[in-house]
Structure 1
Amino acid sequence: MANTSVQTEPGTRRPGVLQAVLLLAGSCMPVLGSVLLTPILPQLSAEFGGAPGGEILVPMVVAIPALMIALFAPFAGQIVDRLGRKKLLIIAMFAYTLVGIAPAFLDTLPAILATRVGVGITEAAIMTVCTTLIVDYWHEPERRAKYLGLQTIVTTLAATAFIAIGGAAGAAGWRTPFWIYLAAAIIAVPMIFLLWEPNKADPTDSHARAPKVPIPWRRIAMPLIVGLFGGFTFYVLVIEASYLLVDAGVAPTDTPTIGGIAALASLATAAGGFTFTRIAKVGVNRILPVAFALQAVGMLIIWFVGGVPGVAVGAIVGGAGSGLLLPSMLTWAVGSTRFEERGRVTGLWTAAFFFGQFLTPIIMGAITAAVGSLPVAVGVVGIACAVAAILLGFGLRKSNMAPAEEVTATV
């Protein structure tokens, strides 16, 4: 792969390292929004927990962007398909910085939640466009699967760094981590000069000459349902790990410890994503059940072992499953899409996945109230993951989903 984009003939460009770096870096922004603040959730609970509805609203500081992504990603997909990719991405990156750092200056929970709505809306555009451009720029099935796998690896490695940075910054106060959102503006500047808008005259996309087509609902219905459930299970340990550790005896102000354990789990997620790039040729129909099974094992370890060691080991095992899960679901959903439907399908899948994330604190709160303990609630979700693994293992074996040539990754 070349070090930059290559002009092969008039109107034709080939993506290179710089384009890959920028799109993968942009893909990290929604991850930044979801994990950066998890180490300071106990501090936010101490600061705002006494406010009306504080027990539910404080976790929403992390979760509400996911709702906005779920609501607005389909619209971002419509804009991507109709009006283009690049302009939307640049505007969203700069807007993301402004709403991201705003809570550093705010003193009330409703005002902070309002800015988090803005974070989610801009994240919807960023995630949809970055994923769509990855599929646009690398249209060969092998490279497409490779870069979708790399997207998971890079974003989870970034999540590891963001969790650790958020934990370290949180030691200086809960406001400090919000300044890290300035990273989006820094990344946006080279995007202006190094990314380009794909068009139907560009032969680097083999699907570009097809007429406009409707959304393939029958083909994507099951990937959307699994994406919704997978978004929920993916986020359970992300949002609950700090509370599980506090329940196990870690001080709420010990953000380096909380962030460190969360970072180890995130590294395991990155390892799972890297594993996907090596085994994608096996087929999504085999990888998806394994991913849910690993999540189940991790959550059941948290339930039955308990304590700080149980939470740490369970989060690592579950994180490895999440690393396999995300690129598998995404490849299944968008790997065989055509140019004219790609933005909309990507937006719909992104909406399903992040709506599952938004539902996480609500569902976990209801399960915890029903069973009386957060570790037991996590175990219940683990049982659900085990059931999903079994159903997918039998169901997808007999289906025609995601043929091997669509997901092959040769790295």
Structure 2
Amino acid sequence: MTFPIGRSSRAAPLALQGLILVSVAWLAVMATSLIAPVLPLMARHFADAPNAKELVQLTIALPALMVALFAVPIGLLIDRVDRIGVLIGGLLLYAAAGLAPTLLDTLPAILASRCVVGVAEAVVMTAGTALLADLFDGPSREQWFALQTGSATLVSIVVLALGGALGEVSWRTPFFVYALPSIFAVLVWRLVSRPVDVAGVPASQEPVVDGGWSALTAPALTTLLASVAFYVVVIQLPFLLTTRGYAAPSQIGLGAALAAAAVPLGSVLFRILARRSVAARMAISFALSAAGFLLMAHQTGYAGTLAGAFINGVGSGLALPTLLTWATGGDNAHHRGRSTGAWNTAFFLGQFLSPIVFAMLSLAHGAETALRLLAGVCAVAFVASLAALYRQGRFMARRVLAAKGVSRCT
């Protein structure tokens, strides 16, 4: 089912609008993957600056931190004002801040611009996802969320390759790609229309159904855990392969590509399990993640390490659209910005915390033990999901028995 759309002469077919909004979400990948290959070049360029290596690495981490800090306030904002206007403003801000390092000559100035990129990314991800949820409902919305989360990892492979190729010219050259969001802004302005409800009233004026912040606690905390687990593989796999003697760029590249390709397969699994409950899908996801971490910990060969990463990626690919659907499923359009903001905060906070958590565990116990501990955490989450599934089953059984009792009485 889809919401009827407030049509205008410029409104595009609904599927095209969905593709535009999915493409907008790829900017979250571009914020980090595009410049990752040129970080060593940046560090050499600013070698005379104090703490240059550490500051250059922050250019990757800062946008995710800014999304975690600003997604919820921005979500509350777009529940009160025009979402399309906010999205267009965020896209233009993203382009301006992303292009800034092509002209800046100091690391502090570049870091400031990266903070602004993160704020713009928070706007784009929160408003874009809320609009996607406005345009589609039910199974259709779930399919679009699966496409959004599953396609991002494939895009990251392309963006990494593009950043590396452009980095052959100069460390500044990849930053010119940040002009792309200005094109997205034009597409949103010209082609994406505002959803309306069945009465022809803007969706933001629907009757309020407020689950409150408490309704977002469970999906947000689960998203945080799933995000930490997801980014452990994304960030740590190259280092893990290197320490195990597989340091050739071709070996690392193949491993990263294989792990990334597993995520869309998880999205396909999400669609196969569409009729299953959130608890059932999360139980399968955490079981796959736990198995993947255990395999990575105990199978230290190249094939075993990649097999574990692949299994983990399938679990993450199943988890991300499930969690996004869960977070946005309880509210109508009046509170959808808050829901998508809370989800983005949890997800990007997990991205920021993941390398910190893994580094702390590895320093204390070693990488293999760290992987085993993460497998244990995922196993606990698997058991908790099974418990939730059991409670749901008992609740549904009581409802069926109660209904039968009523029918007998009548």
Decide whether aligned partners of structure 1 residues 49 and 222 sit closer, same or farther in structure 2, where only a CA change above 3 A counts. farther
TM-superposed CA distance for 1:288, in Å, is: 0.7
Query: Separation in 2 of the partners of 1:172 and 1:311?
Result: 34
2:123 to 114, 122, 125: 125
**What letter corresponds to residue 357 of structure 2 in structure 1?**
I
Decide whether aligned partners of structure 1 residues 143 and 246 sit closer, same or farther in structure 2, where only a CA change above 3 A counts. same
Within a 5 Å distance, the mapping from 1:285-324 to structure 2 comes to 285-324=279-318
Query: Separation in 2 of the partners of 1:241 and 1:173?
Result: 27
Does residue 149 of structure 1 match 2:143?
no
1:33 match: 31
Query: Separation in 1 of the partners of 2:157 and 2:150?
Result: 11
TM-superposed CA distance for 1:61, in Å, is: 2.8
Decide whether aligned partners of structure 1 residues 120 and 328 sit closer, same or farther in structure 2, where only a CA change above 3 A counts. same
Paired residue secondary structure (1:289): helix
**What letter corresponds to residue 159 of structure 2 in structure 1?**
F
1:388 match: 381
Any gaps of 5 or more consecutive residues in structure 1? 404-411
Within a 5 Å distance, the mapping from 1:53-92 to structure 2 comes to 57-92=55-90
TM-superposed CA distance for 1:113, in Å, is: 2.8
Q: Deviations over 1:343-363 (max 9, x none)?
A: 111111211121121111222
Decide whether aligned partners of structure 1 residues 316 and 142 sit closer, same or farther in structure 2, where only a CA change above 3 A counts. same
TM-superposed CA distance for 1:28, in Å, is: 1.0
Identity rate, percent: 36
TM-superposed CA distance for 1:97, in Å, is: 1.8
Query: Separation in 2 of the partners of 1:103 and 1:10?
Result: 39
Paired residue secondary structure (2:162): helix
Decide whether aligned partners of structure 1 residues 377 and 346 sit closer, same or farther in structure 2, where only a CA change above 3 A counts. same
The answer to whether the 8 A contact 1:244-1:375 is kept is no
The answer to whether the 8 A contact 1:295-1:322 is kept is yes
State the TM-score, normalizing by the size of structure 1.
0.83
1:346 to 340, 344, 348: 340
TM-superposed CA distance for 1:104, in Å, is: 4.5
Paired residue secondary structure (1:280): coil
Which protein shows a greater Rg?
A: 2
Decide whether aligned partners of structure 1 residues 110 and 384 sit closer, same or farther in structure 2, where only a CA change above 3 A counts. farther
Decide whether aligned partners of structure 1 residues 44 and 261 sit closer, same or farther in structure 2, where only a CA change above 3 A counts. farther
Decide whether aligned partners of structure 1 residues 129 and 8 sit closer, same or farther in structure 2, where only a CA change above 3 A counts. closer
Query: Separation in 2 of the partners of 1:156 and 1:35?
Result: 10
**What letter corresponds to residue 99 of structure 1 in structure 2?**
A
2:229 match: 233
Any gaps of 5 or more consecutive residues in structure 2? 397-410
The count of residues paired between Structure 1 and Structure 2 equals: 394
Does residue 279 of structure 1 match 2:273?
yes
1:194 to 183, 191, 196: 191
Superposed CA RMSD in Å reads 3.4
2:206 match: 209
Paired residue secondary structure (1:18): helix
Paired residue secondary structure (1:210): coil
Query: Separation in 2 of the partners of 1:263 and 1:66?
Result: 22
The answer to whether the 8 A contact 1:297-1:314 is kept is yes
**What letter corresponds to residue 258 of structure 2 in structure 1?**
L
TM-superposed CA distance for 1:337, in Å, is: 1.5
Paired residue secondary structure (2:183): helix
